[in-house]
Amino acid sequence: MERGYVRVKLLYNTDLGALKEVMDRKGVAFDPSLVMDHVVYMFEIEDCSRVTTHQLVRHRAASYDQESQRFSAATREGVVTPPHIQSNSTALETYNQALKDVYAAYEKLVAAGVPKEDARYVLPNGIKTKIVMTISARSLMHIIWQRTALQAQWEIRELARTLQGLAAQATPELWTTVIER
């Protein structure tokens, strides 16, 4: 699912049908609130900035695997440009010049024999990255509750809404009520 900048795929989720069958065989009624910690989702998140992944990994109840900057190409096209910058021609001109200068410095460092892993220190936080996240339904709901708040930064808010949409589509029984709201 693409939403604005971020691309997200649901790679895996717990099969609620199988879970219900097991509970039924044991004579336990299915109650979504009782399985929230046992239902798991795995998402592949692409083309979000490192600004956003730094916010995301602060939620430690998930497991993450992030693309290494050591081995990925650093290109100007691989940067997220915030909407407030895109919509302001003066800001966009300043932003583009700053990126041009940063990437020129990066290339000069590499050309001077500095390893890419050290030269990357000059790269912007807006550089695009990929991350895989595995998380329980309860923890995902907590992230969504926090990161869809009006005070949340636009990119993480967009990502949280996308994650919620994919999870709700995969396991609608769990998403009729978001627990923390």
Question: What's the whole-number mean pLDDT along residues 26-38?
Answer: 90
Residue 104: what pLDDT?
A: 95
Confidence of residue 169 (pLDDT cuts 50, 70, 90): very high
Residue 4: what pLDDT?
A: 55
Residue 2: what pLDDT?
A: 44
Which residue in the block uniquely carries the two structure tokens 């604005």? 4
Q: Does residue 21 surpass a pLDDT of 90?
A: yes
Catalytic residue among 50, 70, 76, 147: 147
Residue 40: what pLDDT?
A: 97
Query: Does the annotation count 147 as an active-site position?
Result: yes
Q: E strands within the chain?
A: 2-3, 6-13, 40-49, 63-66, 128-136
Distance from CA of residue 60 to its chain's centroid?
A: 14
Residue 178: what pLDDT?
A: 57
- According to DSSP H, which parts of 83-131 are helical? 83-86, 89-111, 116-119
Instruction: Say what percent of the chain tops pLDDT 90.
Output: 79
Higher pLDDT, 120 or 177: 120
Distance CA 80, CA 50 (A): 9
Other beta carbons less than 10 A from residue 14's beta carbon: 18
Q: Are 167 and 175 in contact (CB under 8 A)?
A: yes
Q: Are 132 and 116 in contact (CB under 8 A)?
A: no
* CA dihedral sign of residues 30, 32, 34, 36: positive
Cα torsion at 177, 54, 1, 17 (round to 10°)?
A: -40
Instruction: Encode pLDDT of 67-126 as tens digits.
Output: 877 766 676 568 999 999 999 999 999 999 999 999 999 999 999 999 988 999 999 999
Other beta carbons less than 10 A from residue 4's beta carbon: 15
